[in-house]
Structure 1
Amino acid sequence: MRTPQLVAGTIGLSLLLLLSFGCGSGRSGMVEVTGKVTLDGQPVSKGKITLEATDGKGGVEGGSIENGEYSVMTTPGSKAVKINSPKVVGQKKTYGTADSPTEEVTAEAIPKNFNKDTELKIEVTSSSLEHNFDLKSK
């Protein structure tokens, strides 16, 4: 019977194909966009940044903002940029009981013209890019 030889041949061919073409990361055509985000001259300590294709042909990619810096993998093209950062504005009880623990109440620190109603746009090309955002709250 030739079954063990057939299985071994199939496995060998599969490994050869994987080595020839690579496993693929699903990130083909992606470029890295990095930069700094400040609000009124101060680094945004924590938040998120989202890049959304404006031509309807691309997707939505995003990443974290940590200590005023971000990095996002995205496809080339025109992008609308949305930046969000929560700020603590108070505390509230988790439950309606006297001994209830409290939790933070947050609000958006970034004005809506930089997130919900964004005015920010960038053009992403096929090479690694740096885009810095110096946002003003007024």
Structure 2
Amino acid sequence: MKCQFFTRLTVAILCLFSIGMVGCSEAPTVAEVDGRIALDGSPVSTGVILLQDDVNGTGGSAVVENGSFTFSTPIPPGNYAVALQSPPPPAPHETASQRVSVKFPRHLTEAATSGVKVEITPGKNSLKLDVKSKK
């Protein structure tokens, strides 16, 4: 009889503890990022967009196709500088006619000189960027 009482008391305490923990979940600590990017009003045909954290230099990159990009892994929220770089080198099986050559203005290729900044917040972020070729 005494054992049943302690078993029920233990179950009751665990239930109360579990109910109390439901309200203690934290907000997302990472961000999902996608968006569109244009250069002087025209969608960037192909390239790579880089986000570099203003504080510690970390960030991420995503491939741009027809002006759209999606970061495949979440990134921490924060303030980021944006850079654009040429597309990755072609795969060995691609022919010369399949290679796309895109050159971006020099100031846009480095996060420190692009002048483009974004704030990434926890959760879903959809960016719409129109960068300028002239500084």
Q: In structure 2, do the counterparts of structure 1 residues 46 and 108 end up closer, same or farther at CA, with 3 Å as the change threshold?
A: closer
**Which residue matches 2:85?**
84
Higher strand share: 1
Bigger proportion of residues as helix: 2
Q: Could you state the TM-score of these two structures normalised by the residue count of structure 1?
A: 0.58
Please list, as runs of the form range in 1=range in 2, the aligned pairs for 1:7-46 lying within 5 A after superposition.
29-46=29-46
Equivalent residues of 1:54, 1:79 under 8 A apart: yes
- The alpha carbon displacement at 1:126 in A equals 0.7
Segments of 5+ residues of structure 1 without an aligned counterpart are 1-27, 87-101
How many Å apart are 1:134 and its aligned residue? 0.9
Between the aligned partners of 2:76 and 2:106, the Cα distance in structure 1 is: 25
Kept in 2, the 8 Å contact 1:44–1:85? The answer is: no
Q: Using the alignment, how far apart are the partners of 1:114 and 1:39 within structure 2?
A: 10
Q: Which has the higher contact order (CA 8 A, sep 6+)?
A: 2
Q: Secondary structure at the match of 1:75?
A: coil
Structure 2 regions of 5+ residues with no counterpart? 1-27, 88-94
CA pair 66-128 structure 1, distance change in 2 beyond 3 A: same
After superposition, the Cα gap between the structure-2 partners of 1:107 and 1:114, relative to the gap in structure 1 and judged at 3 Å, is same
SS at match of 2:114: coil
> C-alpha distance in 2, partners of 1:135/1:66?
16
- Name the Cα RMSD after superposition: 2.5
Displaced runs of 4+ in structure 1, greater than 6 A?
104-107
User: Aligned residue for 2:17?
Assistant: none
Which residue identity lines up with residue 40 of structure 2 in the other structure?
Answer: D
TM-score (normalizing by structure 2): 0.59
Alignment of 1:1-138 (within 5 A): 29-56=29-56, 59-72=58-71, 73-85=74-86, 109-116=103-110, 117-138=113-134
Instruction: Determine the C-alpha separation between the residues in 2 that align with 1:115 and 1:133.
Output: 15
CA–CA separation in structure 1 for the residues paired with 2:86 and 2:129 = 13
Identity of aligned residues (%): 33
